[in-house]
Homo-oligomer: A and B are copies of this chain.
Amino acid sequence: MAGGASGGARGGTRGRTGGRRMPRAVREQQMMDAAVRTFGQRGYRAASMDEIAELAGVSKPLVYLYLHSKEELFTACIRREAQALLAAVERAVEPGLSADRQLWAGLTAFFAYAAEHPDAWSVLHRQARSHGEPFALEVAAMRDEIVAFVAVLLEAAAREAGSPGPPGERDIAGLAQALVGAAESLAAWVNESGTVSAKEAAATLMNFAWVGLGDLIKGERWSPH
């Protein structure tokens, strides 16, 4: 391991698999796993690099050598978890499905991800937003991608429906914002309440978003069958 990690200059060893040592990429992932868990459970400020290093089973200087600072480590965690969440949702939405089935698949994947990775969700939804820049910008970029993904899905659905007077581009943008905001709010509630399952949350939002309150209060429901 290289000596003084003071300079912050990026080491040229990234990705090297040298000797018997664990590849750097693997080590980095382990550090980030430990960091996401620590940040998610203790909060960004309270989390210590000592704790993260210990949980990752490496020395603190090695964490600094690889990830430079607590701030950069946190940023790397946000980026990795944001991409993982986005990928989980995109993977679940098969292009061949009808619009409602696509939405259902995406919502199910989203709530499952948030429930199965509560620390990652806490990092993205709570920690990243509550400690100013540059973190809030990182998570906003991911959010924009999800909103854009939803907008494309709605646009395609409206085109397919082929009816007169489908929602315009601006409406679609607003609807996508509404849907993403509703999903975030529900996911936070699910993780805090601890009594509602990811599946239930997905069903609640699917009904809200697809059927609408007007028909829901009359007893109608969306069903995947």
Contacts and interface: CB of A to CB of B under 8 A. Distances in A.
Interface of A: 45, 99-100, 103, 129-132, 136, 154, 157-158, 161, 163-167, 170-171, 173-175, 177-186, 189, 196, 200-201, 204-205, 207-219, 221-222
6 contacts: A45-B132, A178-B186, A181-B184, A182-B185, A209-B212, A214-B222
Contacts of A166: 217-219
A211 B212 contact: yes
A97 to B, nearest CB: 14
A174 B204 contact: yes
A182 B189 contact: no
Nearest to A175: B208
A215 B163 CA distance: 10
Would you list the 9 A-B pairs with minimal beta carbon distance, nearest first?
A181-B185, A212-B212, A174-B204, A165-B219, A178-B182, A163-B219, A182-B182, A158-B217, A181-B181
Contacts of A100: 214
A42 to B, nearest CB: 13
A17 B211 CA distance: 57
Given A154-B213, A163-B218, A185 B175 contact: no
Contacts of A158: 217
B186 A177 contact: yes
B213 A103 contact: yes
Contacts of A131: 130, 132
Nearest to A201: B174
B204 A175 contact: yes
- Pick the most buried of A158, A178, A180, A184: most chain B CB atoms within 10 A of its CB: A178
A129 B212 CA distance: 29
Contacts of A208: 174-175, 178-179, 209, 212
A136 to B, nearest CB: 7
